[in-house]
Homo-oligomer: A and B are copies of this chain.
Amino acid sequence: MNNYKYEDIKIGMIEQFNVNLTENMVDDFCKITGDINPLHIDLAYAKSKGFKEKVVYGMLTSSFLSTLAGVYLPGKYSLIHEVDILYKKPVFISDSPLTIRGEVVEKNDLFKQFTIKFDILNKENKKVVRGTMKVGVLDE
């Protein structure tokens, strides 16, 4: 885990990591949230809506933004303040490995907060999710 302090965070810093989506993750996410929507758990229904596979919950794909801030950028002293997420393409398990990538684009010294521009890419390097996140640094 990284443990960058606020002063260590520089505009242009990039962190990224890969994630393999699994059926177990989808099952666990369903259990946590109670979101039993068939698009995510019923292949026949997903196909009837024109998708080649079950669609991975958008909020499950987004969950890895927690890891991006909490483990990588800034790591230990992270507290997420704000997240704006735009879904560009449906995500399937077969899109794995996903790449979760964040770049520091702004700093706010008054609030010890910085802005990450993030992209989530599928295994073909196509952008499936993008957005920004404001993260505070609890380094005192």
Contact = CB atoms under 8 A, between A and B. Distances in A.
A100 to B, nearest CB: 10
Interface residues of A, number: 43
A112 B97 CA distance: 31
When all copies of this chain in the complex are counted, the total is 2
A34 B38 CA distance: 26
B1 A66 contact: no
Contacts of A79: 39, 55, 90
Interface of A: 1, 19, 25, 28-29, 31-40, 49, 55, 57-60, 62-67, 70-71, 75-76, 78-87, 90, 138
5 contacts: A19-B34, A37-B71, A40-B70, A59-B63, A84-B84
